[in-house]
Structure 1
């Protein structure tokens, strides 16, 4: 789908060899979520979900940071130009669009890799928290600064964070406006692969390419099972695992995987 190579408010994309690269692209302001951007990203994810040429999503920030989250300059304009009631209506609309983006990211059934350099804050935290693999360098940091603006999390961050690090750690990070540097972030499980700065781009590209050449049905079934597991009892989840296996054994990639194993060669998945 050629339309996946596009520019939108605050971002740009390119599709190559199955990897859809999404670049948050306002580096002079640390790549915030500018007005119009969440809706455009929601639409992009919907298009990507419908396109079989997309086998992996790679998200990166232009410049030295991943994302500053919400556009605080637009918050200041709202304070200056609206009444309390108007401001609440405006932010209710913003939250609805943010919810739609968060759900579209959660529904995306292919691997999501985040290349993380520098800071990520606010609603931008949803991106690495919802990812399947976060590849970062030593400059990476997670900024839970909500209380500095007298606000609370959005973009599903309070839900995603608790799933990533546990409820107690999540409360600590959010309540204390913590800034989590790369070593602690890796220890907590917020970063999967920590590499030297000069290796970051290559490491993220390798990870995305690996997912793009993997058996796609298998990856989607794995994501589906992992996402659903916390809400199921054990017996129901065993049933879901069984159905996923039954679905997989008629996938042509299964035959290729078995043949490659027996022939002692790398598999060549379609």
Structure 2
């Protein structure tokens, strides 16, 4: 992965272990076109394979996170026969599914820097994040119903896991708009930061996560993902295996030594 990558509608840059991925179509409220899904999938796949990447931060340019799918681009589909329209959206959603699966395979910490509105498929990036830092302008808009569609972008899989089954139904079936304070209450965001401090707080959080022991973080994410459907005995076995793997690492040795020496650890995997 090059230090800085720019494709139409997207930019990414890697600095000191933190990969920043920015939706960059402010003139279109950072909506995600079909043409953006393939390069974004590639960026995510490359990030997972790149040991230099220790944390990923998603954000949006121009004070908007992402309006989700490019609804303006949907207009062309209205002129097509129904069968052609369905074929186009099947291909569009298959490409989007590859993108979401690449996101869910990331075993490094993922941060969503949420300024302004996020809607549609853009919600998937917020819901999939391990940490969501928002400012007071943040709004999560569950608007698929408003244009006669069902949720996509992994929203129906992720949302019940974040807020619970009944709240997920309420938000989607009523086409709800959730402001920053309610989002904090529901657990859709983890922290609200005043606008002037926002960039600094996001950077500090990302750097702290980038300094964590990489393999322990990856194993923890895999454990928590598996726990959503695992039986207790199977999950306890996974926990045992993860600990057995972890105690063989230099990160474990450094962590224990630093704890006993009463100093901050410097994990080898984070250097």
TM-score, normalised relative to structure 1: 0.98
Tell me if 1:93 matches 2:95.
no
Aligned partner of 2:62 in structure 1 is 63
Of 112, 130, 133, the match for 1:132: 130
How is 1:169-184 mapped onto 2 (pairs within 5 angstroms)?
Answer: 169-184=167-182
How is 1:44-59 mapped onto 2 (pairs within 5 angstroms)?
Answer: 44-59=43-58
Aligned partner of 2:8 in structure 1 is 9
CA distance in 1, matches of 2:249, 2:218: 12
The DSSP-based 3-state class of the residue aligned with 2:228 is helix
Contact in 2 for aligned 1:137/1:196 (Cα 8 Å): yes
Contact in 2 for aligned 1:9/1:34 (Cα 8 Å): no
Aligned partner of 2:201 in structure 1 is 203
TM-score, normalised relative to structure 2: 0.97
Of 229, 232, 235, the match for 2:233: 235
The runs of at least 4 aligned residues of structure 1 exceeding 6 Å deviation read none
Deviation at 1:14, TM superposition (A): 0.4
Aligned partner of 2:25 in structure 1 is 26
Contact in 2 for aligned 1:126/1:156 (Cα 8 Å): yes
CA distance in 1, matches of 2:168, 2:119: 14
Aligned partner of 1:148 in structure 2 is 146
CA distance in 2, matches of 1:186, 1:21: 23
Aligned partner of 1:37 in structure 2 is 36
Deviation at 1:5, TM superposition (A): 2.0
Deviation at 1:155, TM superposition (A): 1.0
Could you report, residue by residue, the CA deviation over 1:78-107 in whole angstroms, capped at 9, with x for unpaired residues? 213x21111100000001001111111000
The DSSP-based 3-state class of the residue aligned with 1:63 is helix
Deviation at 1:120, TM superposition (A): 0.2
Deviation at 1:159, TM superposition (A): 1.2
Tell me if 1:164 matches 2:162.
yes
> Which sections of structure 1, spanning at least 5 residues, go unmatched?
none
Deviation at 1:108, TM superposition (A): 0.7
CA distance in 2, matches of 1:232, 1:142: 30
How is 1:67-78 mapped onto 2 (pairs within 5 angstroms)?
Answer: 67-78=66-77
- The alignment yields a C-alpha RMSD, in angstroms, of 0.8
CA distance in 2, matches of 1:78, 1:236: 47
CA distance in 1, matches of 2:34, 2:186: 32
CA distance in 1, matches of 2:127, 2:68: 13
Deviation at 1:38, TM superposition (A): 1.1
CA distance in 1, matches of 2:103, 2:97: 10
> Which sections of structure 2, spanning at least 5 residues, go unmatched?
none
CA distance in 1, matches of 2:96, 2:203: 28
